[in-house]
Amino acid sequence: MLKNYTKEGQKLPLFGVGPYIVYGIAVLNVIGIILFGYVFKIGTLESPWTLIFRIIGGVLIVIGVAIWYIGALRSDMDESITENKLQTKGIYSCVRNPMYSGWWIALSGIILMWHNAWMLILPLLDWVIITIALINTEEKWLLDLYGQEYAEYKKRVNRCIPWFPRKQ
């Protein structure tokens, strides 16, 4: 089990539900790969799609890892959590959940490596799972903790798809 390191007065867990969401979508993707690629053996695309899917998949893996790395290790998020401050700068000005986004994008890239048309449903299912989980957990916690500041932030910045912030 992951331990959420906390200090006195800290309002949010350091890891939250994140590992469970990521593990869940990763397991879903492994099941999809096994079923479509090896059990049913349906949907596999041939050349030139093999190369196209693998190039796009490789690019998505690199982008996803970079987004996760910036959000997790280069953004001072741990410090923001321990000091109970809403993080809205850096990558958090383009996406509210870069760590989830990074995993989602990287896992989507991994799915493309199998160049299977049926597996294209998996990134959509992953997005739905992440969205539902975040709305029902972390977004509620953050709204309770930061109130109007978080409500305004939600209006400006996408949940999972990195994009330029909307002007208010």
pLDDT in tens, the chain (168 residues): 444 555 566 566 666 788 899 999 999 999 999 999 999 999 999 999 999 999 999 999 999 999 999 999 999 887 887 788 999 999 999 999 999 999 999 999 999 999 999 999 999 999 999 999 999 999 998 999 999 999 999 999 999 999 988 776
Query: Angle 121-136/98-112 helices, nearest 10 degrees?
Result: 160
**27 Cβ contact partners less than 8 Å away, ≥ 6 residues apart:** none
CB 160 within 8 A of CB 131: yes
Query: What's the token pair of residue 134?
Result: 């975040």
Q: In sequence order, which residues have a C-beta less than 8 Å from that of residue 138 and are 6 or more positions away?
A: 16, 17, 97
pLDDT reported for residue 16: 74
Q: Which 8-state DSSP code applies to residue 33?
A: I
In DSSP terms, which residues pair with 44 in a beta bridge? Answer: 116
Distance CA(17)–CA(21), nearest Å, equals 6
How high is the pLDDT of residue 3?
A: 46
Q: How far apart are CA 145 and CA 150, in angstroms?
A: 8
Looking at residue 104, its pLDDT comes to: 98
Q: What pLDDT is attached to residue 165?
A: 80
Q: Give the domain ranges of the chain.
A: 18-156
Helix (H) or strand (E) holding 70: helix 49-73
Q: pLDDT at position 166, please?
A: 75
Tell me, what's the pLDDT at 1?
A: 41
Closest Cα partner for 103 from 74, 71, 64?
Answer: 64
